[in-house]
Amino acid sequence: MIRVGINGYGTIGKRVADAVAAQPDMTVAGVAKTSPNFEATQARKRGFDLYTAVEDRADQFPAAGIETAGPVDDLIADSDVVVDATPSGVGAENRSRYAAHDTPAIYQGGEDASVADVSFNARANFEAAADADHVRVVSCNTTGLSRLLAPLREQYGIEKVRATLVRRGGDPGQTDRGPINDILPDPITIPSHHGPDVNTIFPDLDIDTLGMKVPATLMHMHSINVTLERDPDAADVRDVLAGQSRIMLLDDDLGIDGTGPLKEYAQDMGRPRGDLWENCLWGESVTMDGRDFYCFQAIHQESDVVPENVDAVRAIAGDADAAESIATTNDALGI
Amino acid sequence: MIRVGINGYGTIGKRVADAVAAQPDMTVAGVAKTSPNFEATQARKRGFDLYTAVEDRADQFPAAGIETAGPVDDLIADSDVVVDATPSGVGAENRSRYAAHDTPAIYQGGEDASVADVSFNARANFEAAADADHVRVVSCNTTGLSRLLAPLREQYGIEKVRATLVRRGGDPGQTDRGPINDILPDPITIPSHHGPDVNTIFPDLDIDTLGMKVPATLMHMHSINVTLERDPDAADVRDVLAGQSRIMLLDDDLGIDGTGPLKEYAQDMGRPRGDLWENCLWGESVTMDGRDFYCFQAIHQESDVVPENVDAVRAIAGDADAAESIATTNDALGI
């Protein structure tokens, strides 16, 4: 069993902990948190050993009646791999700590690519993480783009990608985020950071991305154009995409016209926290105009990187190949 | 003086009436309305003769204490040109009425292109309306696209246009519109109607458009890609765009990061109703990658077609050419 420590138990960390716990070849060594809020209570209720991430706040946990297992360094020492799910920028600060314990670490996409030896997407470059001690799972949007572009590239070749990412202003739990009733070019300058970030996965890909921010919290929405090297029928492309395990191709007759019904669908399927781990791609939107491919896909910012973190653990500490790891992860989660 | 009747006194009609009244060579023959709401009261306060658009509701006006001048047919007979600013689809129903009075008519972009002899954008095809009896001013989004594409086409040639239109869900006054907290591909199928609508202005242009709808009311936002036939510097393109009278190139130092501050800016400039008649294009967003041009522009759905309607009146009933008409309209409005 691979012992996985999870440092940071917020939006991503708590989901990764549950996903790791569901794997047949992994166990949660423990989770670390900075402060004793409702998530800390729930971590204990789930049976996870809870470590304190910040020394001078450690006392707050017993004061709040929450049992702790020790400082985060004990967790790092006791883990085969640590998943760092701390806020953007904190992962880079933690790097030396993981190195000191000689514990391989996985970082999130909010960190700069330079934090790690390799940026990771299971579908695109699983093998690259095999010998790495520091691996960065790319962000939710970059993950969504990589999953879509990998099969298009393999099947048809890609001349150029142009994508507009219409991003949710904040997550449902982030009560201090905006905008309200506005549409922001974000950033105003072009390209947004997403294109260069995709290049950490596909170094030679020609891609331009534009970002916006809107008053919504549920999911991001991508408007995608890919100029292919060949001109397949839209039906062929749709079949290729439908064959990808982490692309949920939405059938026309589902009656899902936006991210609200999508989340409702996830809840009705019994998905934990209503999570959508896959790219949600509208089948009806798959269009070819000459060599130009178009589609719309929605990306659940809180959860699409979760199976990627699990695969990254296996890439570092297991002996499965990409196909085996993805299949195991999917099977355990119910993808 | 060109006598202009305005049938429909809602979002567009009331603005066109004010814009016509401001022109040195035009007068408002009257405005027609279906029901006596707050806009009817304001029309009378502005001194416009108010005609009743629907016969069996004509009694409602005197009952509400609002003086009327007669049925809409009297207004049509008394006008040199009628601007039809009725809701989408009603313009087509009114067509035979205008023809019966032999009064040339201008329709809005919500009507099918087949309602008119010609679809119109002042910058792109002013002359086409000279001999037409039925002219359709294209929609707010198509107007915004046409104003941008006309100079790019003239200066650099256009190989292909790909645009994502992130549209406001409804106007500020439309309390029954959505979405709330959602991002909709709208339509899910590609292209949206905007591409073909641009082709009513530029018949041979290769353009693909994708539409979305978001929970905002102030303006639309366009994410634009144009593959040019040449590869000018971004600074050159920016200069060309800055030279267009109906493109407001937003300087980097204005500190305007979205549609909210844009509307605030319009109000501070003393614009009537906070209107933004021009394309609002972020200068910082003007980017060239090889022959690929990119930019963000915001379009005020309630007002950008207003100067176009005024120019359409002059194209039909006046003897100015495009440059003279646009200059006169702009000067009268303060563009």
* CA pair distance B177, B179, nearest whole angstrom: 7
Shared domain for B244 and B103, answered yes or no, is no
Of B160, B164, B282, the CB nearest to A188: B282
Average pLDDT on A150-164 reads: 98
Q: Is A317 found in the same domain as A294?
A: no
Interface check B334 vs A, CB under 8 A: no
> Which among A179, A188, A292 has CB closest to B284?
A188
Q: Which residues of A touch B292 (CB under 8 A)?
A: 160, 162, 208
Q: How many domains does chain B have?
A: 2
pLDDT 10s digits, A282-324: 999 999 999 999 999 999 999 999 999 999 999 999 889 999 9
Mean pLDDT score, B264-291: 98
Enumerate residues 70 to 129 of chain B having a beta carbon within 8 A of any beta carbon in chain A: none
- Calculate how close chain A gets to B204, using CA atoms only, in Å: 15
> Do A21 and A85 have their domain in common?
yes
Looking at the structure, tell me whether residues A130 and A147 fall in a common domain. Answer: no
Q: Which two tokens stand for residue B290?
A: 């090889």
pLDDT at position B332, please?
98
Query: Any chain B CB within 8 A of the CB of A226?
Result: no
Q: Which residue has the higher pLDDT, A131 or B196?
A: B196
Checking if the pLDDT of A196 tops 90, the result is: yes
Same domain? For B101 and B164 the reply is no
- Which pLDDT belongs to residue B16? 98
A47 & A193 share domain: no
Same domain for A153 and A286, yes or no, is yes
Chain segment B52-88, per-residue pLDDT in tens = 999 999 999 999 999 999 999 999 999 999 999 999 9
- Please write the tens of the pLDDT for every residue from B91-131: 999 999 999 999 999 999 999 999 999 999 999 999 999 98
For residue B115, the cross-strand partners are: none
Q: What's the angle, vertex CA A44, arms to CA A41 and CA A46, rounded to 5? A: 110
Q: Half-sphere exposure (CA, 13 Å, Cβ side) for B293?
A: 33
Distance of residue A76 Cα from the nearest chain B Cα, in angstroms: 40
Q: Is the Cβ pair A260, B295 closer than 8 Å?
A: no
Chain CA centroid to CA A240, Å: 22
Where in chain A does DSSP place strands (E)?
Answer: 2-7, 26-33, 50-52, 70-71, 81-84, 105-107, 118-120, 134-137, 158-168, 184-185, 207-214, 220-228, 247-250, 279-282, 287-289, 292-299
Q: For an interface test with A, which of B219, B296, B297, B300 has the most A Cβ atoms less than 10 Å from its Cβ?
A: B296
Residue B202 in contact with residue B153, Cβ under 8 Å? yes
The per-residue pLDDT for B118 is: 98
Residues linked to residue B179 through DSSP beta bridges, in sequence order? none
Residues B252 and B132 reside in one and the same domain: no
Å from B176 to nearest chain A CA?
15
- A335 with A245: CB under 8 angstroms? yes
Q: Which residues of A touch B210 (CB under 8 A)?
A: 164, 223, 294, 296
Amino acid A30: pLDDT:
98
- As a whole number, the mean pLDDT across chain A is 97
Cis, peptide link before residue B261, omega less than 30° from 0: no
pLDDT digits (tens, 9 = 90+) for B197-252: 999 999 999 999 999 999 999 999 999 999 999 999 999 999 999 999 999 999 99
- SS3 labels along B182-232: CCEECCCCCCCCHHHHHCCCCCCCCEEEEEEEECCCCCEEEEEEEEECCCC
Structure tokens at A54: 């910040």
Same domain, B147 and B282: yes
- Identify the pLDDT of residue A264: 97
* A295 classed as catalytic: no
Residue A318 confidence (pLDDT): 86
What ipTM is given for this predicted complex?
0.93
Range of the domain at B113: 2-138+305-333
Q: Kindly indicate the confidence band of residue B23, based on its pLDDT and cuts at 50, 70 and 90.
A: very high
Q: Are residues B214 and B145 in the same domain?
A: yes
Does one domain contain both A130 and A175? no
* A259 with B214: Cβ contact below 8 A: no
Distance in angstroms (rounded) separating the CA atoms of residues A127 and A176: 39
Structure confidence at residue B173 (pLDDT): 94
B151-188 confidence digits (pLDDT tens) = 999 999 999 999 999 999 999 999 999 999 999 999 99
Is residue B178 less than 8 Å (CB to CB) from chain A? no
Residues 6+ apart with CB under 8 A from B253: none
Count of beta carbons in the 10 Å neighbourhood of residue A245: 17
Whether residue A77 is predicted with pLDDT greater than 90 in this model: the reply is: yes
CATH number at residue A222: 3.30.360.10
| Any B CB within 8 A of A214 CB | yes
- Average pLDDT score over residue span B38-50: 96
Kindly determine whether residue A295 and residue B189, on different chains, have CB atoms separated by under 8 Å.
Answer: no
Sign of torsion over alpha carbons A72, A76, A82, A87: positive
Residue of B nearest to A171 (CA): B181
Provide the pLDDT for residue B333.
Answer: 98
> What are the structure tokens assigned to A270, written together?
């019994």
A131 has pLDDT over 90: no
Q: Give the C-alpha distances (Å, rounded to integers) separating B94 from A234, B74, B286.
A: 41, 14, 42
Query: CB A296 to CB B185 under 8 A?
Result: yes
Q: Does B179 share its domain with B250? A: yes
CATH code for position B98 = 3.40.50.720
CA A246/CA A244 separation, integer angstroms: 6
Q: Which residues pair with B188 in a beta bridge?
A: none
b/e map of A96-122 (b: 16 or more CB within 10 Å)?
ebbeebebbbbbbbbbebebbebbbbb
pLDDT at B318 over 90: no
